[in-house]
Amino acid sequence: MHLCVVNPSSHTKLSVNINKIALLRNSRGTNLPDLLNVALDCIRFGAEGITVHPRPDERHIRKSDIPILVKNISVEFNIEGYPSKDFIRMVLDNHPDQVSLVPDPPDVLTSDSGWDTKAQLHFLQQVVRQIKSEGIRVSLFMDPDLELIRYAADTGADRIELYTGHYSHQYNLDRNKAIEPHILASQQAAKSGLALNAGHDLNLFNLQFYKESVINLVEVSIGHALVCDALYFGLQNAIIMYRKKLE
C-alpha cells in the first residue's frame, strides 16, 4: 500500500557533489577542469550547497582542495566521510557548515549502506559531540530503518541523510513500493527531532516523486547523475532542471 503524504516543507536545497569533477581533473594530472571555478559556477547557476567526499586514496577530492573551497564558497559547504582521526582533524581544521558521517571502509567504491547506530552508538556519540562542539552541524548516513533512526537521535546528530540507492534502483519496477520505507523513515525522523537529507542515485526521473512523497526534506546531495546530465544539457541547464524537480 502506498502511503501518500503531503510534504509540508516548502523548499528543499540542492547541494551539488563535485567529486566527479575532481575525478575528471585528476585523470590528466592538471588543473583542468578547475575545481573551484566549477564550484563557483554551480553556485552561480543555482546550487544552494556544495558537497565533497574526500577519500583516503584522494582519487577525486584531495585534502588540499578543502581549504580552498572553504575559503571561497559562500553557500553551505558539506564534507562527507568516515570519521577517522585524520578525517576529524581535517574537518575541525576547516570548519565546514555540515559534516555527513558515513560508515564506509577505506577501500569502498561508493557509499551504499547506512550506520548501525544501535551497535555503534557510543562511538558515534563521541564523534558527534566532538564535531558539534565546534559549531558544525552533523548528519548521519542512514538506511530507512526505523529503529536505527531512533538510535540516530540518541547520538546527538542534527540530521540524517537517507541512502536512496535502493529506492532509485527499484523506482522503475514499482515506485510506490520503493518509496514506502522512506515515507515511514521521514516520519520517524520528524518524531525523533531529526532534520532530513537524502542522497545517492537520485536523478531527473525519480527526484520529484521522492520530494513529493517524504516529509520535511531539507536537502538533497546529487553529483554523479547531475554531472552525467550536464554532458548532454550543460551544467547550468542541468542544475536548473534539478532545481525545478525540487520546486
Q: Is it the case that residue 18 has pLDDT exceeding 80? A: yes
CA-based nearest residue to 149, from 162, 136, 167: 162
Q: Are 186 and 216 in contact (CB under 8 A)?
A: yes
- Tell me the domain boundaries of the chain: 13-246
Interval 78-116: pLDDT, tens: 999 999 999 999 999 999 999 999 998 666 555 567 999
CATH number of 13-246: 3.20.20.70
Could you tell me how far CA 231 lies from the centroid of its own chain? Answer: 22
pTM attached to this predicted model: 0.93
Q: Which helix (H) or strand (E) covers residue 72, if one does? A: helix 65-72
Taking CA atoms, 100 is separated from 32, 37, 120, 154, 161, in Å, by 27, 24, 16, 16, 8
Q: Is it the case that residue 1 has pLDDT exceeding 60? A: no
Query: What's the mean pLDDT in 109-128?
Result: 88
Q: Is it the case that residue 5 has pLDDT exceeding 60? A: no
| pLDDT grade for 3, boundaries at 50, 70 and 90 | very low
β-strands 76-81, 49-52 pairing: parallel
pLDDT at 10: 73
Interval 29-47: pLDDT, tens: 999 999 999 999 999 999 9
Phi, psi of 75 (to 5 degrees): -95, 180
Beta-carbon contacts of 37 under 8 Å, excluding residues fewer than 6 positions away, are none
Q: Is it the case that residue 16 has pLDDT exceeding 80? A: yes
Q: Is it the case that residue 7 has pLDDT exceeding 50? A: no
pLDDT at 113: 76
Number of residues written out for the chain:
247
CA-based nearest residue to 219, from 88, 91, 100: 100
The catalytic residues are 53, 80, 200
Report how far residue 153's alpha carbon sits from residue 162's, in angstroms, rounded to the nearest whole number: 14
Sign of CA dihedral 84, 88, 94, 96: positive
